Amino acid sequence: MEKNSKIYIAGHRGLVGSAIMRRLQAEGYSNLLTRTNAQLDLLDQQAVNDFFEKEKPEYVFLAAAKVGGIGANSTYPADFIYQNTMIGFNVILSAYRNEIKKIINLGSSCIYLKMATQPMKEECLLSTNYLEPSNKAYAVAKISVLKLCTFYNQQYGTNFLSLMPTNLYGPGDNYDPEGSHVLLALIRKFHEAKISGNDRVTLWGDGSSHREFLYSDDLAEAIVMLMQNNNARNLSNPAVDFVNIGCGKDLTIKELAEVNRTIVYEDTTDRKCHIEWDTSKPNGTPQKLLDISRITALGFSPKTNLTEGIKLAYKDFVNNYS
């Protein structure tokens, strides 16, 4: 990938897409293609193909997706499976038809089965038991797009690489209380309790589930590195024709809540709010720790520790909160 290569970032205003933009610009890439949803509906196959035929991007980062937490996934499963499948399929089909040089497809660690052996290696995808029910629709869509990339590589010799990041957070995250992921949801709940003077916050589940987190700018560093690296794929073993990206360690939601509460309240002498756990709500998958040996072997190591990352995410939230 040359500095003047024509690069399309699908989903450039989202958490991952905006981080990719920052990384590319910092490294001196200037010929960047972007489109808002109003300018290009990725659910419209003809519109996507027309865009590719006209603009002829050489490289594509597929970061566009419909995303959300347990609540949104459980409430809108049809939207999650349809929109994420169609976005992925339309972009990949047009990329193939227009002979782009390489595509990076962004998936999610939720593709792994609920009771997968921890930490989860790429080889264990679809190997045992069942998907977590609360995000099954999203997971099925992401698995389908991943497999489409793999099968295009096998059948046509394309250079399509899928990446499976762990739970993400950082600037540009989704602040919608209904659609946000767990870490941002915690930040919002504690912030609203602080400014309202509420002395208690209710959180879903019992806090026992384990989650791994990665700062979005660290993920973007890995993504751009892998776009530049042609040794990441392993076509001799289609089962591992994608790469996990994480930090290699996790913590419980209860521990995460304590970290978030401390950071939100650190600039005030007010008594911290009390946490109540609503055990009638689901915990989600018990643990989702990724095996990151492949990405580590390729030279990636995240730079942002969780506490500092949450401080940065909270600052961004406050600046954009309404």
The residue annotated as part of the active site, out of 29, 76, 96, 138, is 138
Residue pair 180/227 in contact (Cβ under 8 Å)? The answer is no
In this structure, which amino acid lies at residue 318?
Answer: V
Q: Cα–Cα–Cα angle for 231, 18, 260, nearest 5°?
A: 100
* Rounded distance between C-alpha atoms, residue 209 and residue 225, angstroms: 31
Dihedral in degrees, nearest 10, Cα atoms 42, 45, 51, 53: 150
Say if CB 42 and CB 48 are below 8 A apart.
yes
Contact 226, 297 (CB under 8 A): no
Determine whether 138 is an active site residue. yes
Distance CA 221, CA 157 (A): 26
Secondary structure letter of residue 158 according to DSSP: -
Report the 10 Å Cβ neighbour count for 196.
9
Q: What positions carry a catalytic annotation?
A: 138
